[in-house]
């Protein structure tokens, strides 16, 4: 497609408003909008939900068309990973933090599929959600390190009206678990509020968030971390905008969410 700019939105499908917001952003960035739907086996660990992952290609096609997608790429598993496929991408630092601790092979799977899709689609822009903050950071780094001539664009988290971050996995939640899942966004909002009113100790913020999450039924914390927004390394004092990220199992469903904590601006200096 010579002379046209291409924006690309990779997804695993079962599209929701979060995905649509990325498509709308992509639409604004370039002449042609390409999206993909591929439930990538390489990013699921043993015992994770690859088989159960929700799929609805017909509805997705209609939603993508409505969102202005020009080309919807829906490859089969054996087209991208034929027999004897054996090349995988690793990264030294960012995958060691947050989700990488409990999902040690996840980001290798993500980087591998994204690099393959970049080479197939050849976009000028690629849009990723800040909902998967660590993934966005890792993709930015991979794109830079591997000299992909692609601008990576981040898009804000889209939430349900009550605060729950939209996710294809929310479908797994029972009505009661759905209520419990609200503890994630509530814990983040409380932390933002505390920082706005002067709390600067990460340990205190984390402890409060842990209490908020464990006080509701069926929750098990994977991590609650406050870290540097670039390196993801833990910080102990909120003396600049930092990342607060969490992963929580609600029943069997692992959910993630995050926000930026910004200390109040010091007007005296
Ligand atoms: P997934 O289909 O879950 O792999 O997500 C595909 C893309 O959509 C990724 O870049 C995600 O970060 C992004 N995404 C998923 N949920 C949301 C959300 N609630 N808000 C914004 N972007 C999202």
Give the tens place of pLDDT for each residue, 115-147.
999 999 999 999 999 999 999 999 999 999 999
Report how far residue 168's alpha carbon sits from residue 14's, in angstroms, rounded to the nearest whole number.
Answer: 6
Using a pLDDT cut of 90, give the percent of the chain over it: 97
Structure tokens given for 258: 């995050």
Q: What is the tally of structural domains in the chain?
A: 2
Decide if 163 is inside a domain: no
Which of 121, 155, 189 is the endpoint of a domain? 155
Of 48-57, 95-104, 257-266, the range with the lowest mean pLDDT is: 257-266
Going from the C-alpha of 92 to that of each of 100, 104, 120, 141, 194, the distances in angstroms are 11, 12, 25, 11, 34
169 close to ligand 1 (CB < 6 Angstrom): no
132 close to ligand 1 (CB < 6 Angstrom): yes
Report how far residue 250's alpha carbon sits from residue 141's, in angstroms, rounded to the nearest whole number.
Answer: 31
SS3 98: coil
Report how far residue 119's alpha carbon sits from residue 115's, in angstroms, rounded to the nearest whole number.
Answer: 6
Decide if 203 is inside a domain: yes
Decide if 183 is inside a domain: yes
Decide if 78 is inside a domain: yes
Average pLDDT over residues 7-35: 98
Decide if 1 is inside a domain: no
Alpha carbons within 13 A on the beta-carbon side of 228: 7
Per residue in 240-252, pLDDT (tens digit) is: 999 999 999 999 9
Q: Hey, how many other C-beta atoms are within 10 angstroms of the C-beta on 80?
A: 18
pLDDT for residue 266: 72
18 close to ligand 1 (CB < 6 Angstrom): yes
**Bridge partners, residue 125, by sequence:** 7, 151
Say if CB 173 and CB 155 are below 8 A apart: no
d(CA 170, ligand 1 centre) in Å: 12
Decide if 228 is inside a domain: yes
pLDDT for residue 90: 98
pLDDT for residue 265: 82
The CATH number of whichever domain residue 227 belongs to comes to 3.30.1300.10
pLDDT for residue 211: 98
Decide if 205 is inside a domain: yes
Per residue in 70-99, pLDDT (tens digit) is: 999 999 999 999 999 999 999 999 999 999
Ligand 1 atom at minimum distance from 12 CA: 2
Boundaries of domain holding 55 = 6-155
The model's confidence at residue 1, banded by pLDDT at 50, 70 and 90, is low
**Among residues 59, 3, 13, which one has the least CA distance to residue 35?**
13
Per residue in 204-216, pLDDT (tens digit) is: 999 999 999 999 9
What rounded mean pLDDT belongs to the chain? 97
Are residues 24 and 151 located together in one domain of the fold?
A: yes
36 close to ligand 1 (CB < 6 Angstrom): no
22 close to ligand 1 (CB < 6 Angstrom): yes
d(CA 68, ligand 1 centre) in Å: 17
pLDDT tops 90 at residue 171: yes
d(CA 99, ligand 1 centre) in Å: 15
The model's confidence at residue 188, banded by pLDDT at 50, 70 and 90, is very high
Are residues 82 and 174 located together in one domain of the fold?
A: no
Ligand 1 atom at minimum distance from 19 CA: 8
d(CA 17, ligand 1 centre) in Å: 9
Average pLDDT over residues 35-46: 98
Structure tokens given for 131: 């909902």
Decide if 211 is inside a domain: yes
The model's confidence at residue 269, banded by pLDDT at 50, 70 and 90, is low
Say if CB 138 and CB 109 are below 8 A apart: no
SS3 229: coil
Are residues 129 and 37 located together in one domain of the fold?
A: yes
Ligand 1 atom at minimum distance from 130 CA: 12
| Residues involved in catalysis | 19
Name the one residue in this structure whose structure tokens are 């499908």.
13
Report how far residue 217's alpha carbon sits from residue 7's, in angstroms, rounded to the nearest whole number.
Answer: 42
pLDDT tops 80 at residue 18: yes
**Among residues 107, 131, 137, which one has the least CA distance to residue 45?**
107
d(CA 127, ligand 1 centre) in Å: 10
Are residues 12 and 141 located together in one domain of the fold?
A: yes
12 close to ligand 1 (CB < 6 Angstrom): yes
């Amino acid at each position: 497609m010579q002379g046209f700019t291409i924006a690309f939105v990779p997804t695993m499908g079962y599209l929701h408003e979060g995905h649509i917001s990325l498509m709308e952003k992509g639409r604004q960035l370039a002449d042609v909008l390409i999206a993909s739907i591929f439930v990538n086996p390489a990013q699921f660990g043993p015992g994770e939900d690859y088989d159960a992952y929700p799929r609805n290609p017909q509805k997705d096609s209609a939603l993508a068309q409505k969102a202005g997608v020009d080309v919807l790429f829906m490859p089969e598993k054996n087209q991208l990973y034929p027999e004897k496929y054996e090349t995988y991408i690793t990264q030294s630092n960012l995958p060691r933090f947050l989700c990488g601790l409990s999902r040690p092979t996840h980001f290798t799977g993500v980087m591998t599929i994204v690099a393959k899709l970049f080479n197939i689609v050849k976009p000028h822009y690629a849009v990723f959600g800040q909902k998967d903050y660590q993934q966005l950071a890792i993709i930015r780094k991979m794109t830079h390190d591997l000299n992909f001539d692609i601008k990576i664009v981040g898009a804000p988290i889209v939430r349900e009206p009550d605060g729950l971050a939209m996710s294809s996995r929310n479908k797994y939640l029972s009505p009661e678990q759905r209520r419990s899942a609200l503890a994630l966004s509530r814990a983040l909002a409380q932390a933002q509020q505390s920082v706005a009113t002067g709390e600067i100790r990460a340990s205190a913020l984390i402890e409060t968030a842990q209490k908020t999450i464990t006080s509701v039924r069926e929750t098990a914390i994977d991590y609650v971390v406050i870290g540097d927004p670039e390196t993801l390394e833990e910080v102990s004092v909120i003396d600049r905008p930092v990342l607060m990220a969490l992963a929580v199992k609600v029943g069997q469903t692992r959910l993630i969410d995050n926000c930026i904590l910004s200390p109040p601006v010091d007007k005296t200096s």
